[in-house]
Amino acid sequence: MRAVLQRVTQASVTVDGKIVSEIQTGLLILLGVEEADGMDDVQWLASKIANLRIFGDEQGVMNLSVKDCQGDCIVVSQFTLHAMTKKGNRPSYIKAARPEQAIPLYEAFVLAMERELGKKVGTGIFGADMKVALLNDGPVTIFMDTQNKL
C-alpha cells in the first residue's frame, strides 16, 4: 500500500462538478493499493499516518500529528501510485490491485483512519474522474510504502 500525504490548509475533491469532500487544516491522502496488500497494511498505515508528527507546535516545530491538532483528512484512491516506469514511456500498473481487491482495502483504510482520529474522514469516489484541489502547507509532502515498514 502506498500513500502520498500532503499537509494542507484546504483541500477538496470534485466529481461531475460537485464537491464530494472538503477540508481545511489536515491531510490529503492519496492511497494506492497493491496486489500484495492486506489488512495488516491497512492497520499499520492508518496508525502511522494518524500519529505522524508533521504539524507545527506553538514554536513552529513539526511536533504534532493530525490527531493532535484535530485536523481533518480526505482519502483519495490513486492506483497510479503503483506506476512502473522502468521500461518505455507508458507506465505499467501491473502491481496495482484490481477493483475487487482494492475497494475493500480502500474502504477498510478509511474506516481505520476514522477510528484513529475519532471522526469522519472525507473521501473521493473510487474509480471516478476526480478533480482534486489543495493548498499544500509548507509544502509538506511525504511518501509512504507498507512494503518498507521496517
Instruction: Enter the C-alpha cell of residue 59.
Output: 514554536
In contact, 1 and 38? CB cutoff 8 Å: no
Q: Which of 24, 70, 80, 147 is catalytic?
A: 80
In contact, 5 and 49? CB cutoff 8 Å: yes
Reply yes or no on whether 78 is catalytic.
yes
Q: Which of 6, 79, 123, 146 is catalytic?
A: 79
Alpha-carbon span 29 to 6, nearest angstrom: 6
Q: Which of 6, 55, 78, 123 is catalytic?
A: 78
To 5 degrees, how large is the angle CA 63–CA 150–CA 105? 85
Reply yes or no on whether 14 is catalytic.
no
Alpha-carbon span 29 to 5, nearest angstrom: 5
Reply yes or no on whether 70 is catalytic.
no
Which residues are known to be catalytic? 78-80
